Structure 1
Amino acid sequence: MNWLLVIAGAMVGAPLRYLTDRAVQSRHDSVFPWGTFVVNVVGCLILGTLTGAAAPERLRLLLSTGFCGALTTYSTFSYETLRLAEDGARGYALANAAASVALGLAAAYAGVTLGRAL
C-alpha cells in the first residue's frame, strides 16, 4: 500500500514540476534555469515543513517521497549547471550551484521552523 502513496504523490509532483518550469522559464529571457531553481527551493520548503511538523508516515510517503521526490530534480539541476559551464556561462553556473544550495538549505530550515510552529 505504501508504494501507491508514493506513486500518487509523484503523479502530481512530476507534471507540476514540468508546468512550473515552463511557466517560470517563459517569463525570463535568460539562460539561467529559473524554473528548476524555483521547483527545487519550493520542494525544500515543503519537505522541511513536513519534517518539522513530524507528519505521519503515510503523509510523508505521499508528500515527501512521492510529491517532493518528483517535484524536485537534482539531476536536471546538475545537467543545467554543467551546460551553463560548457556554454561559457560560468558565472551563471556558479550562481546556480551556490544559490541552489544556499536557498535550498534556507528554505528547508524555514520549513522545519514553520512545521514545528504548526
Structure 2
Amino acid sequence: MATGASAAHEGPDPARHNGGGAAGSARHGPHLRPSGLSLVFAGGLVGVAAREGLSLAVPDADGVPVVVPLVNLLAAFLLGYLYEALARVSPGTALAGRVKLLVGTGFCGGLSTYSSLATDTATLLVQDRGGTAAAYALGTLVLGAVATLAGIALGSRLHPHEPDRHELRRIEGHATGGRA
C-alpha cells in the first residue's frame, strides 16, 4: 500500500465520487474545474480554427473531402505522441494534466472530426460511390490506428523512460521473488 504523494496516482478514490452536491463538486478532477474547462475551450478553439483554415485552403479531390481524414490522422498521431511523451517525461504532474487538457482534449478534439467523416461517407454512399465511401471511412479508421501507434513509437523513442530508484527497487524485488 502506497502512502503520501504516490497514493494519489494509484487510481480513483471512491470517496471522491460521492454523487455531487456542493461539497462533492469541489473535489472533482481538474477537467471539471473552471481552469481545466478554460484550457479545453482554448485548445478546442485553436483546433477548430486550424481545421476550418485547412478546409478552406485544401480543395476536395474528385468530390472527396481531403482535409477530414488528414486532420483526423494528424490528431490521432498527436494524441499518441502526447500521451506517451507525457507518461515518460512528467507522469502525474499538474503540468502534464494541463497539457493533456489543452492539447489532447482541446486542440486534438477540435481538430479532429469524426462526425464529418460519417457525414462525408454517407454523402458518398448517396452518390452511389460505395467503394470510395468504404475506402474513405475504413481507410481513415485503420490509418488513424496506425498514426496513433506511430505517435506512441515516436514519443517513446524521443523520450526514453529511465526508472527512478523506487521503480528499480520494485523491479529488483520482483526479480528476486520479493527477497531483496
The one-letter code of the counterpart of 1:101 is L
The one-letter code of the counterpart of 2:84 is G
The one-letter code of the counterpart of 1:80 is D
Checking the alignment, whether the CA contact within 8 Å between 1:22 and 1:35 is kept in structure 2 is no
Bigger radius of gyration: 2
Larger RCO: Structure 1 or Structure 2 (Cα < 8 Å, ≥ 6 residues apart)?
A: 1
Q: CA deviation at 1:22?
A: 2.3
The one-letter code of the counterpart of 1:90 is G
Q: Provide TM-score, normalisation by structure 1.
A: 0.93
Q: Provide TM-score, normalisation by structure 2.
A: 0.62
- RMSD in angstroms over aligned alpha carbons? 1.2
Match of 2:79 in 1: 47
Deviation digits for residues 40-80 of structure 1 (CA, Å, limit 9, x no counterpart)? 00111111100111261100000000000000001100010
Aligned pairs (5 A) from 1:17-36: 17-24=51-58, 26=59, 28-36=60-68
Which residue, out of 144, 149, 171, partners 1:104?
144
Partner Cα distance (1:94, 1:49) in 2: 28
1:66 is aligned to 2:106 = yes
Query: Structure 1 runs of 4+ off > 3 angstroms?
Result: none
Aligned pairs (5 A) from 1:3-22: 3-22=37-56
Partner Cα distance (1:57, 1:117) in 2: 21
Partner Cα distance (1:67, 1:29) in 2: 26
Question: How many percent identity over aligned positions?
Answer: 37
Q: CA deviation at 1:8?
A: 0.9
Structure 1, gaps ≥5 residues long = none
Report how many residues are paired. Answer: 116
Partner Cα distance (2:66, 2:37) in 1: 31
